[in-house]
Structure 1
């Protein structure tokens, strides 16, 4: 070990001197941390149906190997099984019990990733992490294999800087199916509740305001998806012989989709009132640049951009099943389906929203077509009290690490299991931190991680853990 980082350093972790020691520690080991991240990226760890399971299992094995270096106790890999023979993505849990007077922290991340989509849209190999101008490109670099390395490095730093007798309880939980909605998470919690019990839960799967301004996420939108199916006839018929009186299913479905929003783009489903308002301003030029919106495209809805992304409900059609253009014939399409993704603002209930959506569709004039709405995944919104003790401590750690004031933000995306964690462990504070920034492009081609953000995220978590251990004793 380098003499600059003596084991058992006992400086006040709130002091400027300790902040500098942490920064030096991260700097000294950063190339090794990045190398470990690059290795994890090589595993195409997809939990989606239709993909080979072997790479997902190999990714889990690689995470186990990584965590073994920390000397965690009770390190194990767990897989849940359904009554239909399905299996969850493999999860990894490693634990170190707390001393009698110290809290326990649960550190969450996930090792499964999104499919790469069109390989031609990638500028680099998605399964080989490539560094370009201070960013690391590749699938999972940010979402969320970097989260694994943040936890790994923070635990290692805690051991070396405070000594092995720091006493803070640590549980590392690396999930293997977050990207498919964590379908086995409820079952996992009911079977292994005691393994994940903690006073504080840190979920390293969110984003920052920018590469220069850190953020603590204090709200998540909920998620509701499903399928709208339209049928106008028992089978296709010749459009020349019968066209005119009978609208095709695609047209009827399109009319339904068009009535889900008002002319100005506001969601038309009644009963989804906003209950929370953002305190920051999201710049429209930044939004257009980050989304790649075409020139002249008018943004939909009312209210601030931040509220439209974080606090209001938002519905998108994310897929349509009907006849392909290459297979089109002169016949009236008799059935068509669309999948919707509906994000719920804080305070909105998934079941009530599904009923409101169904009632809204049924109230439309659909020419008597058979219209069915099938619910899919559902996850509740989540709100954090930014003034709670560990939330304040996390914001200070972020501020000290970045050198700029941390802010509170919402997240337009959804992490459904977070609400489940809150329900099962109501006394635990949940802190949503992250390694992403507006240019990360998670879930899209050319996903990337800003390496300065990774560095600061590690520093912040080390500071938080050190201060949690110190406060109880002092």
Structure 2
């Protein structure tokens, strides 16, 4: 049976790839107001692709002018399980074209990869769903429902409203979220945990206006120095996050070899890793804190003045089991307790997203593991954590508490999603399509 499925996948794959390339050529950057018509085109193309497979589709919005999502249904046999397939059709900005080895909006194959913005994240997720439907044609063994989002890359602001508005049309026994990745080339994975996110802009002020550094230096603290001291308190000497009251937990017993870690992380030669615990604990189940931006005078053209105010953006990843409410309160308390010299500290919350921990047990997960093992020629999937955040998964779990949520994906460690030279490993993509077809077969059983 698996040989028949593999042969069918190979027969549909050329068309799936052509359609993926057409999707990649649509510049559906949801963060760019000047390309909102491209987001509309992407939704229309996505709807067209599923309609061609017999799905009754509709483009919907939370309100007039909101980003377009595609929902739909294709009925299976009476009494068969219902499976909701999720992906998103919007993409990240391509940024500087000079950083790409080929044009970001013209899909290009090199060394077994298809390069282009959205080639993996997440238009390949869309096409994995399309490919699985093409394998079955009119003999779909389950009822499939569809939710293809159009604003994932800008925070899914209207997702909760959409899930509430169309809940009856999206209810399912199993939800397949194709927006994650696999452990390695040749090693599949189910994502079972993701860290949450708290982003805060912090400003420190020490002066009402800039003053001469020679006249007042040594007496008046400048804001940059003061902010630097605050930032320095956020980690201990080993590099662990030093904010009291944040949650940490154990991670799966997965080996992450040093050579692979250094190659995939882009760590500079000689750099030492920070924190304590196993590699995957530090990446998946412990908090992490980064300074992702600073507002301060540039070195070029800087004058001999004491800076009156300086601002930093703090990105705090919180471990599964923690909450954004707790993490935000702990972070703010730490900052306020550690601002020196009577400086004024203010903070503004940029955004938050809850962490996710999935209990990956039960028949749906057994069906998924069997499908993945079969598609990868006997290699069982890893239960993988992800250090990044996909807050909408927690919203699906809340909206559909009785559903089994499977977080899958097309990415691999060298996909470079969100960066230049984003690429899809084509051989792995074939296995992803096969695995999803086998999953639908297994769920029907």
1:55-84 CA deviation, whole Å, 9 max, x = no partner? 1112111112211211212x11112249xx
| Cα contact 2:107–2:116 (8 A) shared by 1 | yes
1:156-215 CA deviation, whole Å, 9 max, x = no partner? 21225xx25x4x211111101111121111222222222211110000011111111111
| Cα contact 1:385–1:391 (8 A) shared by 2 | no
| Cα contact 2:252–2:383 (8 A) shared by 1 | no
User: Is the counterpart of residue 26 in structure 1 residue 9 in structure 2?
Assistant: yes
User: Is the counterpart of residue 389 in structure 1 residue 339 in structure 2?
Assistant: no
**How many residues of Structure 1 are paired with residues of Structure 2 in the alignment?**
444
Q: Distance in 2 between matches of 1:132 and 1:259?
A: 45
Gaps of 5+ in 1: 1-17
| Cα contact 1:158–1:466 (8 A) shared by 2 | no
| Cα contact 1:43–1:58 (8 A) shared by 2 | yes
Q: Distance in 1 between matches of 2:384 and 2:128?
A: 21
Match of 2:71 among 85, 90, 93: 93
Pair 1:242–1:52, CA change in 2 (3 A) = farther
Runs of 4+ in 1 over 6 A off after TM superposition: none
| Cα contact 1:88–1:176 (8 A) shared by 2 | no
1:404-462 CA deviation, whole Å, 9 max, x = no partner? 22221111111101101101111000001110011111111111110011100000000
Match of 2:117 among 134, 139, 156: 139
Match of 2:434 among 427, 441, 459: 459
Match of 2:405 in 1: 430
Match of 1:10 in 2: none
Match of 2:152 in 1: 178
Task: Report the secondary structure of 1:206's partner residue.
Answer: strand
Q: Distance in 2 between matches of 1:202 and 1:155?
A: 14
1:328-362 CA deviation, whole Å, 9 max, x = no partner? 22222212211121111110111111000001111
| Cα contact 1:110–1:144 (8 A) shared by 2 | yes
User: Is the counterpart of residue 446 in structure 1 residue 421 in structure 2?
Assistant: yes
Gaps of 5+ in 2: none
For residue 99 of structure 1, report the CA deviation from its aligned partner: 4.3
Q: Distance in 2 between matches of 1:250 and 1:61?
A: 49
User: Is the counterpart of residue 76 in structure 1 residue 76 in structure 2?
Assistant: no
Match of 2:91 in 1: 113
Match of 1:5 in 2: none
Pair 1:340–1:138, CA change in 2 (3 A) = same
Q: Distance in 1 between matches of 2:280 and 2:260?
A: 12
For residue 366 of structure 1, report the CA deviation from its aligned partner: 2.0
Match of 1:247 in 2: 221
For residue 52 of structure 1, report the CA deviation from its aligned partner: 2.8
RMSD: 1.5
1:66-109 CA deviation, whole Å, 9 max, x = no partner? 11211212x11112249xxxx43211111124544111110000
For residue 372 of structure 1, report the CA deviation from its aligned partner: 1.2
Match of 2:181 in 1: 207
Q: Distance in 2 between matches of 1:216 and 1:49?
A: 32
Task: Report the secondary structure of 1:271's partner residue.
Answer: coil
Task: Report the secondary structure of 2:436's partner residue.
Answer: helix
Q: Distance in 1 between matches of 2:396 and 2:113?
A: 32
For residue 50 of structure 1, report the CA deviation from its aligned partner: 4.9
For residue 234 of structure 1, report the CA deviation from its aligned partner: 2.1
| Cα contact 1:395–1:407 (8 A) shared by 2 | no
Match of 1:3 in 2: none
Match of 2:46 in 1: 63
| Cα contact 1:113–1:139 (8 A) shared by 2 | yes
For residue 322 of structure 1, report the CA deviation from its aligned partner: 2.1
TM-score, normalised via structure 1 length? 0.91
Q: Distance in 1 between matches of 2:95 and 2:328?
A: 29
1:112-159 CA deviation, whole Å, 9 max, x = no partner? 111122222111111111100101111111111000000011112122
TM-score, normalised via structure 2 length? 0.96
| Cα contact 2:318–2:324 (8 A) shared by 1 | yes
Match of 1:156 in 2: 134
| Cα contact 1:104–1:171 (8 A) shared by 2 | yes
| Cα contact 2:247–2:318 (8 A) shared by 1 | no
| Cα contact 2:243–2:330 (8 A) shared by 1 | yes
Task: Report the secondary structure of 2:35's partner residue.
Answer: coil
| Cα contact 1:88–1:177 (8 A) shared by 2 | no
Match of 2:384 among 409, 419, 442: 409
Deviates further, 380-389 or 122-131: 380-389
Q: Distance in 2 between matches of 1:97 and 1:400?
A: 26
Pair 1:413–1:62, CA change in 2 (3 A) = same
Q: Distance in 2 between matches of 1:319 and 1:81?
A: 33
Match of 2:289 in 1: 315
